[in-house]
Amino acid sequence: MLVRKALLQDASNVHDLVNSLSTDGTLLKRVFAEICENIRDFTVAESDGGAFLGCGALHLYGPHLSEVRSIVVKPEAKGQGAGGRILGALIEEAEEHGIHSVCLFTRIPDFFFKYGFRAVEDKTELPDKIFKDCQSCPRLHRCDEIAMVRGRIPRTSILGPRIQAEQLVRLSG
């Protein structure tokens, strides 16, 4: 199995896989143009024969925080270690950038506990995530995802102050 940074020619596979899980609400639907614009955030896994197995993205908020996004493997690749290898590569990438706090939102926290992530009880402790995505999310008022972090929760925010994030979460729930 090869895990590598995604190339533009991977965009169709990434788009199809991410959107295959959007109908049941597991992932948010992404338009192809958005995948193309952000392809450099993605890491992909492929079989020894070159078949696309899965993907994940690392979004950088700044030197204080990054986020694992859109991590998913094809159903036929589950249990082969592709998800763990992709996640490991994304964590390593964050560390290469000097970022020691990595967050994510998920419905399957058990997978991430094995990689040093822990649940964050109060989502407002991650205001950059809230300001970037939650305000425009169709599930804003019925979010069922668990916020998780690996490393310390940052004390700084570059997208909005914590007080506004707290107010947004209060309004949503």
Indicate the SS3 state at residue 137.
coil
Note the pLDDT tens digit of each residue in 118-145.
999 888 788 776 766 666 666 666 677 8
User: Is residue 172 over pLDDT 60?
Assistant: no
Of the listed ranges 85-99, 128-142, 159-173, the least confidently predicted one is: 159-173
Q: Which H or E element spans position 15?
A: helix 11-20
Most confident of 114-118, 138-142, 155-159: 114-118
Q: How high is the pLDDT of residue 133?
A: 63
Indicate the SS3 state at residue 35.
helix
Of the listed ranges 34-38, 72-76, 126-130, the least confidently predicted one is: 126-130
Q: Are 75 and 95 in contact (CB under 8 A)?
A: no
Rounded CA gap, 82 and 66, in Å? 21
What is the chain's length? 173
| Region 2-172: CATH code | 3.40.630.30
User: Is residue 86 over pLDDT 80?
Assistant: yes
Rounded CA gap, 79 and 134, in Å? 31
pLDDT band, residue 168 (cuts 50/70/90): very low
Residue 110 sits at the vertex; the CA angle it makes with 109 and 116, to the nearest 5 degrees, is 85
Dihedral angle over CA of 92, 96, 101, 103, nearest 10: -50
Q: How high is the pLDDT of residue 8?
A: 97
Calculate the average pLDDT of the chain.
85
pLDDT band, residue 159 (cuts 50/70/90): low
Q: How high is the pLDDT of residue 163?
A: 45
- β-bridge partners, 105: 147
Sequence ranges of the domains in the chain: 2-172
Tell me which residue of 118, 82, 80 sits closest to 101, measured CA to CA.
118
Q: How high is the pLDDT of residue 165?
A: 45
Note the pLDDT tens digit of each residue in 93-102.
999 999 999 9
Rounded CA gap, 15 and 11, in Å? 6
